[in-house]
Chains A and B, each alone.
Chain A
Amino acid sequence: MEALDFMTITQKRRDSRFADLITAAHVNVCYTCGTCSGGCPLTGMESTRDEHLDCRKALRMVLLGMEQELIDARFPWICTACYRCVAGCPMGVHLTEIWYRAKALRPRDQVPGVLHKGVEMCLQTGNNMGIPTEDYVETMQDLAEELAEEECPGFEIPLDKVGAEYLFFENSKEVFADYEDLKWWWKIFYAAKADWTTSSTNWESVDWGLFTCNWEASKEIARRKVENMKRLQAKTMILPDCGGASMGTRLNIEQYFKHEFGPETGHDYVYFFDVLLNFLQQGRIRVDKSVHADQIFTWHDSCKHGRVARIYWGDDCFDKAREILSYCFDMKNFREMPHNRMNAYCCGAGAGNWPGPFQAEKTEHGRYKVEDIKATGAELVVVGCSNCRDQIMRNLRKAYDLDIEVKYLWEVVADALILEG
């Protein structure tokens, strides 16, 4: 590492590829109080001792002209963009904007793991995993037939239906591997007699453009969603249930495609929380709480659906989630985690860290979440994001000997559904 020359720092800052952010993201008002690093689970981890970075130090690197060191660092990539640092900063510094810029400036052939490969695959084929349209359509129809036989007589997959009320996007990992998980949403739509559709092309919900800060790719992935909405004349786009995908889609809608939405266009977008709550409040679906009788449970506030949606758009998915739960459970069995809502800890899998290569780091990152879950004494943790679900269920449980069941919010709704015969 080159020794710092304090005589040239001002000039280095002016010439920096972060120069605009130093004022726009309020980096110049940071007074190094350390609230950001104090609240960040990455601080002081064993698995990152070699790099020894935390939020405060990383921010200093930008101000001291050490931009290339930050771009080359692992730190921006193991940050899960949980936004605890942003929420806690007393000076309103948008720290995540700095990490995003560092990621964006990393040459694409040096993006960790398979993340860039996934972006390219999505741009080429319309989904991250390169699933051919023929296989996709066949699988969806096959699964639909299975669901019709099992529980929902007459159920069909409304692929490319024109003029539907709702447009839904699939997560390729469910289509590829966890295909039984698709049935929970389908059961809910069936019970609600919902008029819905999904596209046979560009159906991918996830946005690895956001994970890799490839903004052009992220915009294109969102544009395809909007294009599907227009092509199918769907009234309401359901933002993906994957937290990162909902964030990426909405960021791009707000920045580039806002004009495609609103009363004059006949198009709208909502979170999945709104759909579930709407169905429950309007009596379009009925649920039986006794299915979960006496089950002590807790709720994990996903960073992107929760803190991020609050910071960016003032939304409140916190209360909506708890209200949905109140329909499905006896809330006397509900135990809040010690850190919840705006203070909730990340599971450790956000911003591409679930599919990413940093296994030790994402596992250690999740230690505070594990402590919080254990503190509740719950037998079940309900989650609202696929990466959070997989990280807790498939990684943290084993790594920390965490004896707990993990279910999606839409899964507990589907489990409690009263299906009319």
Chain B
Amino acid sequence: MAVVEHKGKTFEVDEDGFLQDLDSWGPDWVDFVKESEGIHELNDDHWKVINILQDYFKKNGIAPMVRILSKVTGFKLKYIYELFPSGPGKGACKMAGLPKPTGCV
């Protein structure tokens, strides 16, 4: 199992670089992913997406469809891609500590 280190903390990740266990998620993980995703500063909208993704995942065991995410946050799809340039399926889920979705996202 691969391990990444960031600011003195270690995280176990899968082959795709996604967190192995949501329980080990924390602000340091977000900070680590932020850099690799090319996001300079996280704003309230980033956190809104992250929080909703985690809540939905904890209840349903899968990531929500982005249409649902868009409705709940009130953000248009284009804006979600602006927030997370590699996409809601890759960048946003990775930052939120969710597993990589099993589709061609």
Contacts and interface: CB of A to CB of B under 8 A. Distances in A.
Interface of A: 112-114, 117-118, 121, 128-131, 135, 139, 142-143, 171-173, 175-180, 206, 242, 354-355, 357, 386-387, 390, 394
A387 B104 CA distance: 7
Contacts of A175: 65
Given A129-B103, A143-B67, A178-B77, 4 more contacts: A121-B102, A131-B65, A171-B104, A206-B103
Contact of A130 (B14, B77, B102, B105): B102
Contact of A129 (B14, B15, B68, B101): B101
A121 to B, nearest CB: 5
Interface in B87-101: 87-89, 99-101
A130 B62 CA distance: 8
Contacts, number: 77
B86 to A, nearest CB: 7
Nearest to B65: A176
22 contacts: A113-B15, A113-B100, A114-B16, A114-B100, A114-B101, A114-B102, A118-B102, A128-B102, A128-B103, A131-B65, A143-B67, A171-B104, A176-B65, A176-B66, A177-B88, A177-B89, A177-B103, A178-B77, A355-B104, A357-B17, A386-B104, A387-B104
Which of B62, B77, B104 counts the most A-chain CB atoms under 10 A from its CB? Answer: B104
Given A129-B62, A177-B88, A177-B89, A139 B67 contact: yes
Nearest to B16: A357
B15 A176 contact: no
Interface in B9-44: 14-17
B81 to A, nearest CB: 9
A394 B89 CA distance: 13
